[in-house]
Amino acid sequence: MGRLPATTSSETARGTVLARPEQQATEERPPSGGAELVLHRVRKQFADFAAVQPTDLTVPAGEFFALLGPSGCGKTTTLRMVAGLETPSAGTIRIGGRDVTSLPSYKRPVNTVFQSYALFPHMSVKENVAFGLRRRRVRDWKARTEEFLGLVELHHLADRRPAQLSGGQQQRVALARALVNEPEILLLDEPLGALDMKLRRQMQSELKRIQAEVGLTFIHVTHDQEEAMSMADRLAVMNEGRIEQIGRPEDLYHLPRTAFVANFLGRSNLMAGTVTGGGQGSGPLLEVDASGHRFAVHRDRAVSATGQVLVGVRPEKIDMRPAGAGADRLTAGWGINRVAGTVTDVAFTGVSTEYRVEVPGLGELGVFAQNRGGDLMRPGDAVGLSWDPAHAFGLDGQQDAAAGDDAV
Amino acid sequence: MSSRVADRSGKQTGFERAAALAGGTAQARGRAGYGLVSPGLVYLLVFFVLPVFTLLATSLYVKPPGAEVGQFVPALEFGNYAIVLGGYWSELLRSFGFALLATVLCLLIGYPMAYLIAVRLRGRAFVQGLLLVLLIAPFFTSFVLRTQAWKQILADEGFLVQALKTLHLMPQGASLTATSVAVVAGLTYNFLPFMVLPIYANLQALDHRLLEAGRDLYGSDLTVFRTVTLPISMPGVLAGTLLTFSPASGDFVNAAILGNNRNTTMIGQVIDSKFMRVLDYPGAAALSFILMVAILILVTLYVRRFGTRDLV
């Protein structure tokens, strides 16, 4: 293979979207935008275990997409099928319109940042980063390796072995090793899982910055809902081999469509009830009776408009007042979405205080109150709870209200 | 690949590398480490270091005038070395030649075996175990017996020679017994497990995700093998070749049973006969010492050239 003399990145003919300041004037390459990923009825069956149920998924070019779910939900298997490290039992995978289902992984325009980084221990940092370029016999591999080492700020460690680096540094090498190939899709398999919390937050914003700069399609697999929500443009929540719901993080959070999503993405109070009024054509609100309590839910926020439903409301959407205080006056007019209870547990977390409130007939509800001065409630205090019907959502009453509660 | 790893290996001593090969980190952890190695050190001192000095002393003995056969007196006769070296340099060279051939053959046969068992059959514990047992099973019978068996395999009326002659791959009048081919074949067979086991142990520990990373980064299976698997398994190859070459070069059983007395004589046979039959103790001791030093030099050169840095 012809080896070019080492050049500094400012000398490279090839402009780059990753240009550092001195290069920006010569930028020639528009953000590539990566490629669109389409899964059509993709399924994966291991010997006695259906890892992924038939799944359809479309990720537009240039999107930061997250696959979120507990361990064993099929998210990593899905990712590995896109990478070509697993063969789907059925279905087709298209990248940029091209069917890659039967392509071996080394022929796919896709690179992966592995969970354990999987850096080659016998190679230096530089050799690791150059690996993909050299396999494809890219002519200016030396310059591009330098360039991407710069992108992840590892120039000074280029000749070290992976074992001599910290976890965060190894993570950046893994990232550079994948990105340097400018794949159409970058796959990230729990890439931040091994980092401590602080480094994790730092790498999250770093990853977002890099994604914005290179403009590639990123598919990020994680079980950390905060990570998925804070990083992704859109995300899919997976459970037991199928996608439960896809959407923008805020949409999924505000309007979960299954009990699993409601509980796995943030926390929810789910209360079983029966639709008693407000059916077809009688206004925007459904009326639900739950153990004698009356709740209102917007019809278009409810999965079903008849029969058994779960009424959900997020803990931070609930207003809590001491019993007999203003709350009663405030909501006295409606007589709905208003319950009385007793505080059973108080956890002060700094930004907010998390209360557990026992409500007769409904069990314990969680309430998060912002700490904006004033006294905290104490266990045993009688309180009134209320919430805006616009914040409630209705789920299929057949679902397990505890689904996804303790999934990790 | 070797040129890339070789330039880093200069600073490490053979002992450090040997320690690395043995799987331990060179720095023993604290004083407990010394406590644990002391029984071994004492053993080596009594049964290795002291005998080496005895051997060295014996190699300098002289036969007093008029002494009986096998009777020698202490002296510092360095001329013994010149005599045996002059008399047996061809056997010495042949020994290393045969050992080298056997080591290369062992590597060519053994690496694929180790790779099959450790990598290809990963996750299939039963088949792996079965193949390992089959590999080691011959060791339950005696070394000499196994070598005798090779005499039958290579015999003129044996199936191998018959088959080769039928296929005209061998002239009708030729035979395999009592040839260099037979000796090298025996050495290869007898030392094969010493090659396979260290490589197997190394490949067994190979992180499968590295292979996936290699494929993900545009490496075909062959490329990944060449750039990832093989370099990472070099410590195993190094250990295997050392474990094969050193004993093979000093071996005398294969040459004695499978060879002839004209052009297959190995240095081990010479030493054996000097000690046991001719009763030329100083000559035998000098030859032993020469063999030991020669192996040490060859091994040191080899490790310096091909030694890989300890792979975490």
| Complex ipTM | 0.79
Given a cut of 80, whether residue A329 has pLDDT beyond it is no
Please compute the mean of the pLDDT values over residues A239-258 and round it to a whole number: 95
Question: In this model, does residue A130 exceed pLDDT 90?
Answer: yes
Predicted confidence at residue B48, as pLDDT, reads 92
Q: State the best of B216, B220, B237, B311 to mutate against chain A, taking most chain A CBs within 10 Å.
A: B216
Residues in B closer than 8 angstroms to A110, CB to CB, are 216
pLDDT for residue A23: 39
Residue A386 to residue A318: CA distance in whole angstroms: 6
Residue of chain B whose alpha carbon sits nearest to that of A162: B312
pLDDT reported for residue A407:
65
Nearest CA in chain B to A131: B217
Name the B residues in 24-63 with CB < 8 Å from any A CB: none
Own/partner contacts of B284-290, CB < 8 Å, gap of 24 or more, are B285/B55, B285/B56, B285/B58, B285/B59, B285/B61, B286/B59, B286/B80, B286/B81, B286/B83, B286/B84, B287/B84, B287/B88, B288/B55, B288/B59, B289/B55, B289/B56, B289/B59, B289/B81, B290/B81, B290/B84, B290/B85, B290/B92
Nearest C-alpha in A relative to B309 = A122
What is the predicted pLDDT for the residue at A229? 93
Identity of the residue in A110, A118, A178 whose CB atom sits nearest the CB atom of B209: A118
* Percent of chain A clearing pLDDT 70 (strictly above): 87
Is residue A8 over pLDDT 50?
no
Q: Which residue has the higher pLDDT, A251 or A192?
A: A251
On whether any CB of chain B is under 8 Å from the CB of A181, the answer is: yes
Compute how many other C-beta atoms are within 10 angstroms of the C-beta atom of residue B206. 18
Over residues A236-242, mean pLDDT: 94
| φ, ψ dihedrals at A203, nearest 5° | -70, -30
**Residue B113 Cα, gap to closest chain A Cα (Å):** 23
Do β-strands A64-68 and A234-239 pair in parallel, antiparallel, or remain unpaired?
A: parallel
Write out chain A residues lying below 8 Å of B213, CB-based.
112, 114, 118-120
Q: What is the pLDDT of residue A376?
A: 86
pLDDT band, very low/low/confident/very high, at A291 (cuts 50, 70, 90): confident
Task: Report the pLDDT value the prediction gives residue B25, as an integer from 0 to 100.
Answer: 54
Token output for B244: 């094969």
Q: Check pLDDT > 60 for residue A20.
A: no
Choose among B87, B76, B51, B84: nearest CA to B283: B84
B123 at A interface, C-beta within 8 A = no
Per-residue pLDDT band for A209 (boundaries 50, 70, 90) equals confident
Return the higher-pLDDT residue of B100 and A322.
Answer: B100
Interface probe, candidates B212, B217, B228, B306, chain A, greatest A C-beta count within 10 A: B217
Whether A332 shows a pLDDT value over 90: the answer reads no
Alpha-carbon distance B178 to B264, whole Å?
8
Q: How confident is the model at residue A277 (pLDDT cuts 50, 70, 90)?
A: confident
pTM given for the model: 0.78
Q: Greater confidence, A23 or A63?
A: A63
Distance from CA of B51 to the nearest CA of A (A): 41
Could you say which of B217, B232, B308 has the minimum Cβ distance to residue A135?
A: B217
Task: Using a CB–CB cutoff of 8 Å, tell me whether A135 touches chain B.
Answer: yes
Residue A173 has pLDDT above 70, yes or no: yes
Subunit contact A83:B216, Cβ cutoff 8 A = yes
What pLDDT is attached to residue A260? 95
Q: Is B210's Cβ below 8 Å from some Cβ in A?
A: yes
* Angstrom distance (rounded) from CA B180 to CA B255: 8
Query: Sign of dihedral through CA atoms A213, A216, A221, A226?
Result: positive
Structure-model confidence comparison of residues A16 and B258, the more confident one:
B258
Instruction: State the best of A106, A123, A128, A180 to mutate against chain B, taking most chain B CBs within 10 Å.
Output: A106
Nearest-Cα distance to chain A for B309, in Å, is 8
Share of chain A above pLDDT 90, in %: 59
Whole-number pLDDT of residue A156: 93
Query: Is it the case that residue A326 has pLDDT exceeding 80?
Result: no
Kindly list the averaged pLDDT for each block of 10 residues, start to end, along chain B of length 312.
40 50 54 85 93 93 86 89 92 95 97 95 93 90 88 88 88 85 94 95 94 95 95 93 94 90 88 90 93 92 74 38
The backbone torsions φ and ψ at residue A370, rounded to the nearest 5 degrees and listed phi first, read: -60, 145
Provide the shortest C-alpha distance from residue A45 to chain B (in Å): 18
Per the structure block, which two tokens stand in for B100? 């080298």
Confidence of residue A283 (pLDDT cuts 50, 70, 90): low
For the residues A296-310, what does the mean pLDDT come to? Answer: 90
